[in-house]
Amino acid sequence: MTDCNSSERTLTELKIAQAYVRLSSIPGDNPEASVLLASIGSCEFHMFRGPALNPDGVPLFWLELFDHTKRSVDGFVCHTIKDAVPIFDDLISQATRLNEPMAGTTNEGLPAYSMVTNTPSLAAVERRL
């Protein structure tokens, strides 16, 4: 693994950890609680709370990819934040394919992906090169 890939993986892991902290700060035990993790074009990645953590291997959270109609395209359970990085990368690949332009259309100016950062406004985004 190159330094760039290692740095990129670490940054993704930190962003997932930040999203988990935001998710954990949502009061109550509502299993439908979620936070927006990132978006690519018209696709969104959400993190949902897993059942209460216990030693029996219950997932910590799950990641889900939604298309432009807000329909779930794919989702995965995550037992650790480190486990979520390759899952997130797979979801990014799927979203990128979903956002590929059809014949005669263009996606000019579409970022590779935008991750929601842990800022007071939650509106700031970073671009992955």
Q: Where are the alpha helices (DSSP H) in the chain?
A: 3-24, 81-98
The closest alpha carbon to 60, from 71, 70, 49, belongs to 49
Give, as one character, the DSSP assignment of residue 80: S
User: Do 75 and 65 form a contact (C-beta atoms < 8 A)?
Assistant: yes
CA distance linking residue 71 with residue 15, whole number of Å: 24
pTM of the model: 0.68
List per-residue pLDDT tens for the chain, 129 residues long.
Answer: 445 588 888 999 999 999 999 998 888 766 668 899 988 888 999 999 876 555 566 678 989 999 888 889 999 989 899 989 999 999 999 998 888 875 444 445 444 455 554 433 223 333 332
